[in-house]
Structure 1
Amino acid sequence: MQDATQILNQVFGYTAFRPPQGEVIETLLGGGDAFVLMPTGGGKSLCFQIPALARPGIGIVISPLIALMQDQVDALCQSGVRAACLNSTMPPGHNAEIERRAVAGDIDILYIAPERLTQAQTLTWLAQLQISLFAIDEAHCVSQWGHDFRSDYLKLSLLHERFPTIPRIALTATADERTRAEIIERLQLGNARTFISSFDRPNIDYRISQKLKPKDQLLDFIRQEHAEHAGIVYCLSRKKVEATALWLQQQGFNALPYHAGLDATVRQTNQRRFLTEEAVIIVATIAFGMGIDKPDVRFVAHLDLPKSVEAYYQETGRAGRDGQAATAWMVYGLEDVIKLKQMMAGSDGDEQFKRLEQQKLNAMLGLAEITSCRRQVLLRYFGDRLPEPCGNCDNCLSPVATWDGTDASRKALSCVFRTGQRFGVGHLIDVLRGKNTDKVRQFRHDQVSTFAIGQDLSDTQWRSVYRQLVARGLINVLDEYGQLQLAEPSRALLKGESRIELRLDKAPSKTTRPGKSRTSVDIPAADSALWDALRACRSAIAKAQKVPPYVIFHDATLQQMLSVRPQSLAALGSIAGIGDKKREQYGAAFLAVLADFAA
């Protein structure tokens, strides 16, 4: 551990491990296996990078994404670590040269995709190496129940079979109890020590509200709070991704689309711009984001409801990796629930899979509809506990009003029944509101007892009622047309044997939160010029090195420079995030900026 602490300080520029990093590293240094569950931004990478450097040989890291590999290799090389990756995008001869260097002992850490690792020729080559450890990053990809499933991860149990004496570490930021058990079983980690950190990300402000005019709501949110910040906007469909990105561009934002249907070069260019430029907004499907290390993403917005709490936690976790304030913002409506239920009903999975997917969606709906602290519910889902309300979610900051929705719910349920349980919500609302449409006349629904009995509520209010009835399992969604059918639990409400409280959805306010600083961190006005100069220095170096600015130094490191105002290389070395190599390579440039302002 003395060697490990020395590496932490000299290579990575930190003085002490965060719990449970020290215990994880000690386990691997002793030759043991480890399973690590740690939230995004919690420092998972150091758990395998440091023991890979401290143990003799080369550390092999299995990573599912080329972009993630390259990002981590760039960061390690900047810190003086001999790191490389093997993947299909490299120019001819590159991979052969990397393999030669690995055999010669000239590489400390090597990243490789699971598809390549499981090939026979790769396994033959690995047998020639002195390997310090195997790290399986994004280990939740082994779960067949997860949305990031990668079939090649299922073959990674061969590492235990072929290399039984080499320690292994599996890491993920997202796994409920079922997924954890599956990871341990499929990767044959039954004897591994398990380390589970708190899932809490206290710097993230969670907000979920009803979908009214979603693009306008998104625009107001970004303009009010994150006009000059980097962010991610998630949409369910590729078509919506492109339309939303174009619309944000027309509103003056640097917004770029990302989805699996785009040309690979366009995807790579857009991702690279997001990582290297300031204030870029990526509009994406779930194809974007796994392993994104950009620390200063200030917001993640969802224009559609995610399919599960795991997906929501993982996607929102890409905000605020630097520990500074960030926002997880979402709007959703009944149409989202109907669309997701339709997708699940039409999936190719067996009945067990569909039931589990339905359970996951119901848990997500529960989080969206809850009137108490969202963070407590979110953490409880992962088996974590928060004793007191967080004070940093919409329900804590603006407590939700509820209303006795018993009478309205009975009317809504009765209308489903009286019209034959074969119509969508739009038509049902027309009947309740007494609208004399062609469809109402065609099916003679102006003659049913529920016609015009709901004129006291608006279309929007009725949609809220139906959304909550679907979310609570009183109504089922039947098919791709969104037909609604009564579920068994509705019987008690219709018979007058129970009552129901509904959340009172309010129109969104344009001043829900005070405007945020134009910078990623809070900087005193008197220091803003020096802050801009330090960032400009970082950007110039990053551009010359062809790496993202945060690979040079994180904002937190620059902020400490601003506070401490070091005047020598030795003083610069005391700042977190500046190891020996970076101090030697970049110290003079930053000291010159500080000296100019001191003068």
Structure 2
Amino acid sequence: MTSDIGSGALHLLQTVFGYPAFRGQQADIVGHVASGGDALVLMPTGGGKSLCYQIPALLRDGVGVVISPLIALMQDQVDALAEVGVRAAFLNSTQSFDETLRVERQVRTGELDLVYVAPERLMTPRCLELFEASNIALFAIDEAHCVSQWGHDFRPEYIRLSILHERFPQVPRIALTATADRMTRAEIAHRLQLEDARQFVSSFDRPNIRYSIVEKTNGRKQLLDFITTEHSGDSGIVYCLSRKKVEETAEFLNESGIKALPYHAGMEHAKRAANQARFLREENIVMVATIAFGMGIDKPDVRFVCHLDLPKSIEGYYQETGRAGRDGMPASAWMAYGLQDVVLQRRMIDESEADENFKRVLSTKLDAMLGLCETLSCRRMRLLEYFGEGSSPCGNCDTCLVPPVSFDGTVPMQKLLSTIYRVGQRFAAGHVIDVLRGAESERIMQWHHDKLSVYGVGSDRSEQEWRAILRQAIALGFVTVDHEAFSSLKLTELARAVLKGEQKVQLRQYQKPVKPKRVSSPRGYEETELSKSEQAIFDKLRWWRVETARAHGVPAYVVFQDATLREIAKVKPTSLDQLRGVSGVGEKKLTSYGDEIVEIIGEMM
């Protein structure tokens, strides 16, 4: 980066966006793109990806074009930029013809710094001709993992974005995503013709997020206990696999006194948009959703993300849990997971219309997800390892805080595998466990399974313990579920060595679920403690922010994030000059809100 670009970038960061210094690789990325270089950027959610294209767009001549699949969020993104004095607009299907003409004219005449456009709109001859007739500073391809057919958010229209390299060879391109393993990263580079682009890969670690995965017994009740114990009054997201479960869970939480809204693709568009707007603009709302919700959600104070169903892959899990704690404050990623989740995900892969190669990739990704759930070691280490990053035990996940008990499970595993074999590999989990435990069911008597040598050999363990062992047998690849034969359990080739005693098996000891207790802040995280007087100022500023955001028609965090309000409460600025030094207060916000804030501080001193 030349010194001129470097000083210009830092000046914009401080005066426009209100931050004192760049974080991590931001400065290098900004300098590279501002100088005309192409880049592929992997940076965790909350790491400041948007600054990596916003500042170069302001430094370079012309308008920066941001390609994003998030039509529903473009208005909020444009509003947030307007709050800091950046001239931004969008082009999408929600606009009237007159509005579209106005924005197109602004692009042509150079009246905008940034314009957001969906990939479908970009591909139209009209839009491509508009950009060819305009001075374009750069192309930013946001949510670039959408180009990957192996990914969890594949969008077919993203594949056609290679046209940018062909039609605009002199315009720098920056592709950004929070989630991509090596295979997905290679596919992004190939499909967007960014093989020669410089790659910037930040750490995937989110140290402020506490990861916990519990044995699912009564998922909704466990969820309620978790929220009321750990996150009462906080904003959060709960992910469910089906639309029906979304509706039922939201209703259950509301009946239990927690303000919850549903969100899924089957809802009317207007209702879905209204619920999303409420979640973004109001505080203390829990959004219960399918994975149709969340990409691009910039709400910084989401304190927890929960999963009531097993995600399909670690990428999906990481992307979804990454929506918690974008402000850097402590947050939780909690999941309830059981045997039925494994069976259901396997069935979805087996019954999909994908080719065998694609099914193998999906199965491999699910195996990695199961490995994360069943690990005896630090979950964060396992998570980061998946993305090719080494680490040491974090001290801030459930397996670090309450280490699981492992035991030599070779004999119980042999009992389970033998029982599956003895019943002819023709029965589902419930029947196999009944045989193991010596149950006297009508079905067992009907099939004379009470006469088998394995009948009752597992009577010393509860049904829940055997389900945990079976789940681990599936995760370890000893057992598969045949969905074409009524979910019957079948042995794999890997089971042979265990049955013959040639392979030992270490298992995770079943722990009876207990009601969660509030735990301390993450190790290595320094809580911003406020004194009684500072807390009073912070609370007053938050009320002021709610009213101000409502008047401006924007989410509260667009006015100021909690972290900025906390710092104001600690600094207690009595002049605009003192307020100018607070992180998150740029010149435009100082002009817009400075006098009011100084007045509030003065009243409370």
TM-score by length of 1: 0.97
The one-letter amino acid of 2:62's match is: G
Asked if residue 343 in structure 1 is aligned to residue 348 in structure 2, the reply is: yes
8 Å Cα contact 2:303/2:330 also seen in 1: yes
SS at match of 1:473: coil
8 Å Cα contact 1:226/1:516 also seen in 2: no
8 Å Cα contact 2:530/2:570 also seen in 1: no
Question: 1:492 offset after TM fit, Å?
Answer: 1.2
Partner residue of 1:464? 468
Question: 1:68 offset after TM fit, Å?
Answer: 3.0
Question: 1:310 offset after TM fit, Å?
Answer: 0.4
Over 3 Å counting, the alpha-carbon distance change for 1:516 and 1:6 in structure 2 is closer
Partner residue of 2:298? 293
- Match for residue 90 of structure 1 among 87, 95, 104: 95
8 Å Cα contact 2:225/2:516 also seen in 1: no
Asked if residue 68 in structure 1 is aligned to residue 73 in structure 2, the reply is: yes
Question: 1:477 offset after TM fit, Å?
Answer: 1.2
Partner residue of 2:591? 584
Q: 1:301-337 CA distances to partner (integer Å, 9 max, x unpaired)? A: 1111111010011000000000000000011011000
- Match for residue 562 of structure 1 among 554, 557, 569: 569
Partner residue of 1:431? 435
The separation in 2 between residues aligned to 1:358 and 1:283, in whole angstroms, is 27
- Match for residue 400 of structure 1 among 400, 404, 416: 404
Q: 1:486-517 CA distances to partner (integer Å, 9 max, x unpaired)? A: 01111111112222121012122224433889
Partner residue of 1:409? 413
The one-letter amino acid of 1:537's match is: W
The separation in 2 between residues aligned to 1:505 and 1:90, in whole angstroms, is 55
Asked if residue 121 in structure 1 is aligned to residue 129 in structure 2, the reply is: no
- Match for residue 546 of structure 2 among 536, 539, 557: 539
Range 2-11 or range 129-138, more displaced: 2-11
SS at match of 1:93: helix
The separation in 2 between residues aligned to 1:496 and 1:376, in whole angstroms, is 31
Over 3 Å counting, the alpha-carbon distance change for 1:459 and 1:243 in structure 2 is same
Partner residue of 2:40? 35
State the Cα RMSD in Å: 1.4
SS at match of 2:126: helix
8 Å Cα contact 1:304/1:330 also seen in 2: yes
SS at match of 1:207: strand
- Match for residue 31 of structure 2 among 18, 23, 26: 26
Partner residue of 1:389? 393
Partner residue of 2:507? 502
Question: 1:458 offset after TM fit, Å?
Answer: 0.7
SS at match of 2:323: coil
Question: 1:105 offset after TM fit, Å?
Answer: 1.4
- Match for residue 262 of structure 2 among 257, 260, 282: 257
% identical equivalent positions? 55
Asked if residue 440 in structure 1 is aligned to residue 447 in structure 2, the reply is: no
Partner residue of 1:283? 288
The separation in 1 between residues aligned to 2:521 and 2:33, in whole angstroms, is 42
The one-letter amino acid of 1:572's match is: L
Q: 1:369-411 CA distances to partner (integer Å, 9 max, x unpaired)? A: 101111111111101111x211111111111111222221111
Partner residue of 2:364? 359
Question: 1:427 offset after TM fit, Å?
Answer: 1.0
8 Å Cα contact 1:32/1:168 also seen in 2: yes
Q: 1:457-486 CA distances to partner (integer Å, 9 max, x unpaired)? A: 111111011011001000011116321100
- Match for residue 49 of structure 1 among 54, 76, 95: 54
Over 3 Å counting, the alpha-carbon distance change for 1:210 and 1:521 in structure 2 is farther
The separation in 2 between residues aligned to 1:290 and 1:100, in whole angstroms, is 30
SS at match of 2:52: helix
Partner residue of 1:552? 559
- Match for residue 421 of structure 1 among 422, 425, 437: 425
Q: 1:34-88 CA distances to partner (integer Å, 9 max, x unpaired)? A: 1100000000000000010110100000001113322221110100111011111
The one-letter amino acid of 1:578's match is: V
The separation in 2 between residues aligned to 1:526 and 1:501, in whole angstroms, is 54
Q: How do residues 445-524 of structure 1 correspond to structure 2 at under 5 angstroms?
A: 445-479=449-483, 481-514=486-519, 522-524=529-531
Partner residue of 1:374? 379
The separation in 1 between residues aligned to 2:297 and 2:127, in whole angstroms, is 27
8 Å Cα contact 2:226/2:516 also seen in 1: no
Question: 1:436 offset after TM fit, Å?
Answer: 2.0
TM-score by length of 2: 0.96
Partner residue of 1:136? 141
The separation in 2 between residues aligned to 1:525 and 1:433, in whole angstroms, is 59
Over 3 Å counting, the alpha-carbon distance change for 1:595 and 1:573 in structure 2 is same
Range 45-54 or range 402-411, more displaced: 402-411
Asked if residue 149 in structure 1 is aligned to residue 154 in structure 2, the reply is: yes
The one-letter amino acid of 2:419's match is: C
Asked if residue 596 in structure 1 is aligned to residue 603 in structure 2, the reply is: yes
Q: 1:235-270 CA distances to partner (integer Å, 9 max, x unpaired)? A: 111111111010000000110111111111111011
Question: 1:14 offset after TM fit, Å?
Answer: 1.2
8 Å Cα contact 1:225/1:516 also seen in 2: no
Question: 1:521 offset after TM fit, Å?
Answer: 6.6
The one-letter amino acid of 2:584's match is: G
The separation in 2 between residues aligned to 1:275 and 1:533, in whole angstroms, is 20
The separation in 1 between residues aligned to 2:180 and 2:240, in whole angstroms, is 23
8 Å Cα contact 2:310/2:341 also seen in 1: yes
SS at match of 2:483: coil
SS at match of 2:50: helix
The separation in 2 between residues aligned to 1:523 and 1:423, in whole angstroms, is 60
Range 169-178 or range 449-458, more displaced: 449-458
- Match for residue 580 of structure 2 among 570, 573, 581: 573
SS at match of 1:44: coil
Q: 1:421-480 CA distances to partner (integer Å, 9 max, x unpaired)? A: 121101111111222222222322222222222111111111011011001000011116
The separation in 2 between residues aligned to 1:301 and 1:183, in whole angstroms, is 29
Partner residue of 1:323? 328
The separation in 2 between residues aligned to 1:524 and 1:218, in whole angstroms, is 32
Question: 1:277 offset after TM fit, Å?
Answer: 0.5
The one-letter amino acid of 1:394's match is: D
Partner residue of 1:206? 211
Question: 1:175 offset after TM fit, Å?
Answer: 0.2
Partner residue of 2:248? 243
Q: How do residues 158-173 of structure 1 correspond to structure 2 at under 5 angstroms?
A: 158-173=163-178
8 Å Cα contact 1:224/1:515 also seen in 2: no
Structure 2 regions of 5+ residues with no counterpart? Answer: none
